[in-house]
Structure 1
Amino acid sequence: MQYAVLALCGLVMFLDGFDTQAISYMAPAIAREWDLPASAMGPVFSSALVGLMIGYLAVSPLADRIGHRRMVIAATTSFSVLTVLTTFAPSVEVLLAARLLTGVGLGAAAPSAIALTSEFAPRRRRATFVLVIYCGFSLGFVAAGAAAGAVIPLLGWRPMFLIGGALPLLLVPLLWRLLPESPAYLMHRGHPVGPILHRLDPTLPESTLARGPRQDEGTTRRLPVIRLFERRWLVGTLLLWLVFAINLAEFYALQSWLPTILEGLGHPTSTVVTATTLTTVGGIAAALITGPAMDRFGAGYTLGVLYLIGAVLVGVLGAAFGASLWLLLCVTFLVGCCVSGGQKSVIAFGSLFYPPEMRSTGVAWALGIGRIGGILGPILVGLAVAAGWSTTGLFVVMALPMLVAAVTVLALGRLRYRDEPASVTGGRAETAVRRS
């Protein structure tokens, strides 16, 4: 059952990543067909990002009211149907609106998928499980590029929307049939959880699993977002937002400006594509190490060390532009391990930082607020490039926020939520998962 949850949520994240990235490959064909300047596609890209923020900040927290299972199914259905309908967009204005609404569904699905994976994962492998499904998101990026290369030259850009919408629509019946609801959500609302917990641990007596104690009325009515600003969570929440913003700023700055910098230094297109791709591949490879390390040595310590190494490597990258090609590619790959891998790891850290009843809201808001860093990072680097900064100086300065992130994460490791059975539905749901 736990691996089924892992597989289903991983597929949701894979299709989420596919749908998010596919528009980037379709943009040139859309601009040619509608006789648009390339700049006209900028608002289309931005509309999806705005939709993602709305999904993270406004829609995803509703999962704590309606349940994570329902949110994953509803959000997946939403972005799949809207993606299929986008196939018939007659103008750029309609396309912009469709991508905005699709982005809302994409943003709402991910936090609940992460929350369910974290709750059903064996305690000793929780960070690993979350990192595995988030690798699905990155693999969706890669699959979108491969599909676009095969489909667009033969059939045009519209079939890409059909593929991106039909695949998640086919997944919805499986989610409805096989994806379980969060035990913590069920018990907090006095619903029976015996069948779910018995599948996790058949040794638990059925008489003790019939129905959980309903959460007190005051806690039930309190908005999940407000709990992030309670005295116990306020400092940790703000620091976590800072780390998310720094990591996303570094990631999008690299993704946006690395190709331009490499081309400006005279590297051929093949090198530009290879180096940029290695940053994503490095993030996936890092997850194979950081997940088990977070589970074994502690999430805060592992992520803090990863950021410290990343700070050194980002500074070294500035000097590596003048080195041999193989050394440049090696450093780029290692930077991707720390920056792209750090982004996946900090999401796992966020899922461990908050208790189950706050998990999706906490992660969703961290992702949403972190997008501010994702917006500012490329802008600030662009200003530095326009001002004539050397690549060495630019990347040395870019290394400093990574140091701040490392210190912040190490401090957060001491503030994080402790998985004590008494804090989660009287211990029975947590006990079943831990035993498994």
Structure 2
Amino acid sequence: MNSTLKTSSSPSSVFSVQLLTIFVCFLMNMLDGMDVMVVSYAAPNISKDWSVSPQSLGVVFSAGLLGMAIGAIFLASRADKIGRKGIILISNVLMSVSVFATAWANSVEMLTIMRVVSGIGIGGMLASTATLTSENAPQKTKDFWVSFVMAGYPIGAVLSGLVAASVIPQYGWPAIFKIAGFASFVTLPIGYFFLKESKEFLNKSASRERPALTALLAEKYKKATIGLWVAIFMAFATLYFLTTWIPKLASVTGLSVELAIYAGTVFNLGAFFGIISQGYLSSIFGLQKTIFGYLIFTAFLMLIFGQFAGSVMVLVLFGLIGFGIQGGFVGMYSLAARLYPTEIRATGVGGAVGIGRIGAIVGPLLGGVLIGAGLSMTTNFIVFAVPTVISGIAMLYISTKDSR
């Protein structure tokens, strides 16, 4: 694709092109958040229309996460050969077609297939936008801009929730999938005309060869890669335990039905501010120390969560926990982009995100087992504070000097 930057351009015009690319990546991640959450908002109505239990739809949610892992590990790695822009556009097509087609799903099996396909697109999109942003952002503010782009994800989740709340009761659950799919289609020409590959990628002739995932475990990168994978697996396990069980958590903590409805929105709004502030603080205190602080803060809140059961303060805690866990784990995207050189950067980011998505499958399943065994929600929070601490500690043992 013809996405070269003219070497004769002035620094200000080059930065304008880079900034435009960053904002388009932000838009693409808003679509990610929308496409991930839309099935959650539609699930109660799907369950009612098809006469299947909400538990039976659990396989649908797992299928989406599996697709994201596949997309991050295998699709995103292609970006090191054909370019980040190409994979972003391919991911967009996969998301658009599958989400739009979901409106005509008439069985759990078809719905599952559509979620796998959309998950592959979402996984490829997240890793590729993080990589492209890292390569276009100014060196001094790189961490902020990567975090800014990732903040599009919770914004998309919140906006899709607001749209779903007004659309589904009036037009039925298929309407929200049509809207989400159409919105993704609309952004295709925007991505095609305004996304630009970085000079860093275009000037690397080695990038024309697709690197193997095993390159991340070469002696030079092995220690940092394993540390990153441990940290992101643990963080995703906690994050998806929280997001999966938030409706249940809210209902058993004594909140009124009206207030419980806002739990997910408060969590995602907290996430947005956590992600943005993490990017800013990382430029002051350092990326790894900032991530560590956010995750330890989250673990502390989870440990004291039970003290606020039955109080409106539970909503505040949901917001603060979203602030901490999302702010912390999104910083790992920035770290992954820093750990690896251009020729294997997309593979490195995608590999980390893919490992994280496996944790996203394990976390909710483990939470379900513990709840089924009779453990209270408060006890579950204490249990999941442990992987959060492990994730934070792992951050401090990753050396970027050994990798680049």
TM-score with structure 1 setting the length? 0.83
Per-residue Cα deviation, 1:277-334 (whole angstroms, up to 9, x for no partner)? 3222211111232101112321111111222222222212233326x433x3333322
Contact 2:216 2:222 in 1 (8 A): yes
SS of equivalent to 1:295? helix
Q: Is the 8 A contact 1:68 1:182 kept in 2?
A: no
What is the one-letter code of the residue matched to 2:286?
A: G
State how far apart, in whole Å, the 2-side matches of 1:391 and 1:41 are: 22
Q: Deviations over 1:97-152 (max 9, x none)?
A: 22222221222122111111110001111111111111111111111111111211
Tell me how far apart the structure 1 counterparts of residues 386 and 401 of structure 2 sit (CA, whole Å).
Answer: 23
Q: Is the 8 A contact 2:243 2:264 kept in 1?
A: yes
User: Of residues 321, 325, 330 in structure 1, which corresponds to 2:312?
Assistant: 325
Determine whether 1:96 maps to 2:112: yes
- SS class of match (2:203): helix
Q: Which among 40, 45, 69 is matched to residue 85 of structure 2? A: 69
Distance 2:376 2:110 in 1: 42
Deviations 1:381-423 (A, max 9, x none): 33333444455544333323222222211111555645xxxxx
Match in the other structure for 2:337: 351
**Which residue does the alignment assign to 1:22?**
38
**Residue of structure 1 aligned with 2:228, choices 240, 243, 246:** 240
Give the one of 272, 276, 290 matched to 2:260: 272
What are the ranges of 5 or more consecutive residues in structure 1 without an aligned counterpart?
190-214, 419-436
Structure 2 stretches of 5 or more lacking a match? 1-16
Contact 1:249 1:376 in 2 (8 A): yes
Displacement of 1:245 in angstroms is 1.0
Do 1:244 and 1:366's aligned partners in 2 also have CA atoms closer than 8 Å?
Answer: yes
Q: Counterparts in 2 of 1:187-226, with a 5 A limit? A: 187-189=203-205, 215=206, 221=209, 223-226=211-214
Equivalent-residue separation in structure 2 for 1:317 and 1:241 (angstroms): 28
**RMSD of aligned residue pairs (Cα, Å):** 2.2
User: Would you say 1:374 and 2:390 are equivalent positions?
Assistant: no
2:24/2:191 contact within 8 Å kept: yes
Aligned to 1:183: 199
> Kindly tell me: are residues 129 and 380 of structure 1, through their superposed partners in 2, closer, same or farther at Cα, counting changes over 3 Å?
same
- Could you tell me how far apart the structure 2 residues matched to 1:302 and 1:273 are? 31
Q: Structure 1 residues 232 and 87 mapped into 2: Cα distance closer, same or farther (>3 Å)? A: same
Cα distance in 2 between the residues matched to 1:182 and 1:380: 41
| Cα deviation, residue 248, structure 1 | 1.0
Residue 124 of structure 1 contacts residue 296 of structure 1 at CA under 8 Å; is this kept in 2?
Answer: no
TM-score (norm 2): 0.89
Percentage of matched positions with identical amino acids: 31
Q: How many angstroms does 1:161 deviate by?
A: 1.9
| Counterparts of 2:316 and 2:42, CA distance in 1 | 30
Contact 1:118–1:126 under 8 Å retained in 2: yes
2:99 corresponds, among 60, 65, 83, to 83
For 1:33 and 1:395, the matched residues in 2 are separated by 34
**1:353 maps to amino acid:** L
Q: CA deviation at 1:266?
A: 3.2
Tell me if 1:167 matches 2:183.
Answer: yes
Structure 1: distance between partners of 2:266 and 2:389: 23
1:233 Cα offset (Å): 0.7
- Do the aligned residues in 2 keep the contact of 1:350 with 1:363 (CA within 8 Å)? yes
The answer (yes or no) to whether the contact 1:118–1:351 under 8 Å persists in 2 is yes
Cα deviation for residue 58 of structure 1 reads 1.4
- The corresponding residue for 1:288 is 276
* Structure 2 CA distance for aligned equivalents of residues 116 and 382 of structure 1: 37
Determine if contact 2:224/2:403 at 8 Å carries over to the other structure.
no
Which has the larger Rg? 1
Q: Give the aligned length.
A: 388
* 1:147-158 equivalence runs, <5 A: 147-158=163-174
The whole-number CA distance in structure 1 between the counterparts of 2:33 and 2:379 is: 33
Q: What amino acid sits opposite 1:409 in the alignment?
A: M
Match status 1:300 vs 2:288: yes
Partner in structure 2 of residue 311 of structure 1: 299
Which residue of 1 is the match for residue 13 of structure 2? none
CA contact (8 A) 2:65 2:360 kept: no
Residues 56-113 of structure 1: CA distance to partner in whole angstroms, max 9, x if unpaired? 1111111111111111112112221232233333443323222222221222122111
CA distance in 2, matches of 1:95, 1:175: 27
Greater shift in the superposed pair: 305-314 or 379-388:
379-388
Higher relative contact order (CA 8 A, sep 6+): 2
